[in-house]
């Protein structure tokens, strides 16, 4: 999570939403990203989306079995959907997002029994009170 926090700090310094994400596979960091929506002028350039794309490239496959995604802020609906599509089995996040969170705050997409994939979720890691 500390690497994700460093990426979030870099995002903040670049006048982006301060969100960072890291993907770990078998104890090794295979992706690290920060929000780049403003810089890329791309509404999908969230830290999670970029990290998932990097991880898929690093493993040369779309299924991210055996991976854990660490992210500083609760994923939004778009990012939660990408997590489900990538079949990431475990997501660890820091702060809740009461306005757009799709993991515990507004929706529980990663645990929805109607979907074809569910994740283990660990919330509140290193979140400030």
CA atoms within 13 A on the CB side of 78: 9
Rg (CA), the chain: 13
Q: Which of 38, 48, 74, 128 is catalytic?
A: 48
Placement of tokens 């089995």 in the chain: 89
DSSP 63: -
Helix axes 2-13, 47-59, angle to 10 degrees: 130
Which CA distances in Å does 82 have to 49, 128, 129? 7, 26, 28
Structure tokens that stand for 90 in this block: 């475990």
CA atoms within 13 A on the CB side of 52: 26
Is 48 an annotated catalytic residue?
Answer: yes
Catalytic sites, residue numbers: 48
């Amino acid at each position: 999570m500390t690497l994700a926090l460093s990426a979030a700090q870099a995002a903040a310094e670049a006048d982006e939403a301060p969100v960072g994400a890291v993907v770990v596979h078998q104890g090794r960091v295979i992706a690290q990203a920060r929000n780049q929506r403003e810089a890329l002028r791309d509404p999908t350039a969230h830290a999670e989306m970029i990290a998932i794309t990097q991880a898929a490239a690093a493993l040369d496959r779309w299924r991210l079995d055996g991976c854990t995604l660490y992210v500083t802020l609760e994923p939004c609906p778009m990012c939660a959907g990408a997590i489900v599509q990538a079949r990431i089995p475990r997501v660890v996040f820091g702060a809740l997002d009461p306005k757009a969170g799709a993991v515990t705050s507004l929706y529980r997409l990663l645990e929805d029994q109607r979907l074809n994939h569910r994740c283990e979720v660990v919330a509140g890691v290193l979140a400030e009170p």
